[in-house]
Amino acid sequence: MIKITNKLGLGCVTFGREIGKEASFRLLDYAYSKGINSFDTAAVYGDGSSERIIGQWMVERAISSDSISIATKILPPYDPLHIRITVEQCLRRLGIESIDILYLHRWDEKVTNEQTWSELTDLVSEGKIKELGVSNFNAMQLADTVNLIEKLEGVNLSYIQNNHNLAVSDLNDNMRGICRKNNLKIITYSPLGAGFLTGKHLNGVQKDSRFAVIPAHQDIYFNADSQRRLKRLMEVAADTGYSPEYLALAWATHQKDIDLVLIGGRSTDHIKQAIEASKFYSAEIFDELEKT
């Protein structure tokens, strides 16, 4: 079992892409000082820069891999050779001997191939991976994966990581049921919807924001359903006196069945705000937020 000691984890997607090494180190230092010991990255983040920065931080701060949990993700193709090569590259960039959680970053048809899971199981047996997860799968894809794994000997899937916030959620009751039945831990990310739920984009996408850096994310949030939920959040914020981001973070960190919520940003203020919001709970206000 991975040694995660806090319900909040640090998502490191901004490292090497939106912020440099020094700013990334400040986030890592601050999060670690506040008891956050789960760090989530991916091979694709900053073309490997995020993994390298985490590895450099561990060396320069003399952080033992035994005191933290490092998760990373790999993209398709999920054929055995590509999986092994990519995992080896992740290990080198991170400067560690074993990845605590390795996720398949998104669905691909090869997820249903036995050879894919045979290779992943071999990597677990070799100690290069400790636990396996999948990310950005829908309920049907997760069910198909679980059904295949049940037929294979020695394969154990432990986590699913999906987007989940007030505006957009890739979790539903069916998926939650699959997770409960199969003892899968649920990790969620983007509690502020990449900044959408702060309300700062009401008059258009802000320059240098996540939506400007990755325009494809705009289609996920800039639609009628998400805009309606944002409007409701803004109304409740105005009625209660809490900021929209504070309420969105508080709501996300108190969702049932969620084992870990990944927070992130560009400055320590973003981490501080998320930690403070995670301490706030009001069933009445949360119910109001969900009335759309």
Asked, for residue 206, whether it belongs to a domain, the answer is: no
**Number of domains, the chain:** 1
Distances (CA, A) of 164 to 110, 113, 190: 25, 28, 7
- What count of residues does the chain have? 292
The model's pLDDT over 130-157, given as tens digits with 9 standing for 90+, comes to 999 999 999 999 999 999 999 998 889 9
Q: What is the mean pLDDT of residues 201-208?
A: 67
Asked, for residue 50, whether it belongs to a domain, the answer is: yes
Is residue 3 over pLDDT 80? no
Residues 6+ apart with CB under 8 A from 20: none
Asked, for residue 151, whether it belongs to a domain, the answer is: yes
Residue 133 belongs to domain spanning: 8-196+256-267
Asked, for residue 229, whether it belongs to a domain, the answer is: no
Q: How far apart are CA 97 and CA 82, in angstroms?
A: 19
Render the burial of 260-273: b for 16+ CB within 10 Å, e for the rest: bbbbbbbebebbeb
Asked, for residue 1, whether it belongs to a domain, the answer is: no
- Specify the CATH number for the domain of residue 15: 3.20.20.100
The model's pLDDT over 205-237, given as tens digits with 9 standing for 90+, comes to 666 666 656 666 677 888 999 999 999 999 999
Place of tokens 């009445």: 284
Is residue 188 over pLDDT 60? yes
Q: What pTM did the predictor assign?
A: 0.94
Asked, for residue 228, whether it belongs to a domain, the answer is: no
The model's pLDDT over 21-48, given as tens digits with 9 standing for 90+, comes to 999 999 999 999 999 999 999 999 999 9
Asked, for residue 184, whether it belongs to a domain, the answer is: yes
CB 7, CB 39: distance < 8 Å: no
Asked, for residue 60, whether it belongs to a domain, the answer is: yes
- The pLDDT value given to residue 79: 97
